Structure 1
Amino acid sequence: MLKHLQAESSMASNEAVVGAEEEAWRTMVQGEGDPNAAGVAESKDKMLKVEKNNENRSLKTNRLFPTPNKPDPMPHNLAFLFTKITPEQMMYMWNVLTFIFLTQCTMIVAYCAALAMFPEMWWTCTLCFGIPFSYVAIQQIYIDHDVMHGATFPVYEFQKFLTHPFADFFSLPWEEFVLEHNRHHASTVDLLIQGEFGWDPEEFHYALQQWAGPWSSNWYKYILTVPFIPVIHFFGLNDTGSLFALEWWMHFPDEGAGGKCNKEFWSKWVPRRVKHNSFVLCLWALVWLLGTYPLGRPLSEGWRFVFTVSFFARVGFSAAWMFITNFTHSLPWNEFLAQDRFVSDL
């Protein structure tokens, strides 16, 4: 009972301090009203504006903003998809995310201990650490994604720092991670029409796999670009990476009137970014130290341990984001789904 009240209190207090940007995103993505607007709220902010005309049609495709196809009456086997998350479920999801972070820390310390005890078995120790570590990173992104859509606000304040600290050496704080992902969903409603209702921060990923048109007749053209997809993910051009953070920070927040600095840039956004990335850098500093004296190496060689840990972390995070970002938005996969539905209808 106490935990239930604590979770409800946390949800209420966190939602009470949500800024104007977060509220605008929430309205944009989840709001109700005009069925063809699907909650598309007008905003004076460039980054918060869904690009549509007076008829609620896309400026890019002239299509009406899609209306959610919620079954009525609701089948019993689908009702859980539209059920609001409970405080207990919210606590469970954040506890799992916290457990994943603690598991990652434990694995790194255990890897250091294994190397210290068996220095001649570097490959064995590294692979026994690296493969499971990559798998845990994949699971972390899936949990991040579920938490983002179902339990956005952490039960405890410190938990927002644990969502993706090993993804890169600096990254978006949790609040902006949520904002940019909602920006993606608000602007790209159709999986195959990126940026239909405004700028999508993930458009570059899709360009590499869709620039040449239909896959069946242009497959050979994609040989030039598709191989670069895992490369850009590995170096941080995904939601939890450093290159993506730089891209987002170059667009958000909007400039103030007359080209002046946004009034909340220094008071709100910079402190969040500094706090998050200070935590991330402290973690990597500890990883650096683990790779020095415990392994009989000088301080200057800590990068060797950092490199290995970061390599396997990036493999896992890249694999997860390639599936979420590239595979689900790919032409072959969506063509397969269309054919499967056609066969099922027959």
Structure 2
Amino acid sequence: MHRQFTVLCLALLLAPFAELATAADAPARKFIAADSSKQTIAIISEDGTVAWERKIGPLHDLHVLANGNVLFQDSWTHVLEVNPKTDAVVWEYEAKTAPGNEGRRIEIHAFQRLENGNTMVVESGRARILELDLQNNVVTTIPLKVEHPSAHHDTRLVRKLDTGNYLACHESDGAVREYDPSGKVVWEYNVPLFGRDRANGHGVEAFGNQCFSAIRLKNGNTLISTGNGHGIIEVTPAGQDVWSIHQEDLPGIQLAWVTSLQVLPGGNVLIGNCHAGPKNPQLIEVDRQKRVVWTFKDFERFGNSLTNSQILTMDGKPVKKVLR
């Protein structure tokens, strides 16, 4: 009896350490994420501690730059670059007071720091891409094709490609369009409904084709998050679907409004799972065999509107080449 009691006590003492050992064996990720419902943007270290945090308003895009600064928005019209070490604002753009925008409804849902140091800002409501220099002088303007104009829905994420073209997700049109520098549409893909009817809402019960993110892969294909289509699809230049993940494909996980994407070193894909509720993780890393490699779920610091993220390190190694 004494021996059984001793063994039981040892088991109870060791149980927490076994759990910690299991957690230690899991992949570790440092990342930035933002949730406008909690008015929070934060960098989370690999050990789960907060490395930096700031209050925000509405947000649909963010970037940690090569210099370590954070490029993000704290309202639908205000984009800023902040040094997280000092919290100093080193650059900013306010769309509502920009020349020609006074009195107009303008929203920003995408922006990007370019290799030449300029900043691309996409203005919904005016349906245009701007490239701004450090003094906010407009050096390039690209008009966008929008069939269902809306200051809130003209675009979601837009990225300038290595070719000089622009890849834009048009949420209200349910389409991904590639533009050349003159504004000509050179490629277009209409996100399918896969034979289903549209359903209102934002959560797992909703359904549509309001795409959020598109990435041009090295093989020339395009990886697309389908928003309220609850999934991601990879399509060829000819529009053929060659790989996909749908709402119920990941064991124990339901996808809801699939938002930001990131292709990681080694080929894994980080998926933003927004509006999916506390039973589901907000971030999911999967491999190409659709196996879940890593997840993040925190409904205290973040909430049900975690739209955007970026992995910064993987098991202590910086993620230098960002494809997102």
TM-score range normalised by the length of the shorter chain: under 0.3
Based on CA coordinates, which of the two structures has the bigger radius of gyration? 1
Point out the structure with the larger helix share: 1
| TM-score (norm. length: structure 1) | 0.21
| TM-score (norm. length: structure 2) | 0.22
Point out the structure with the larger strand share: 2
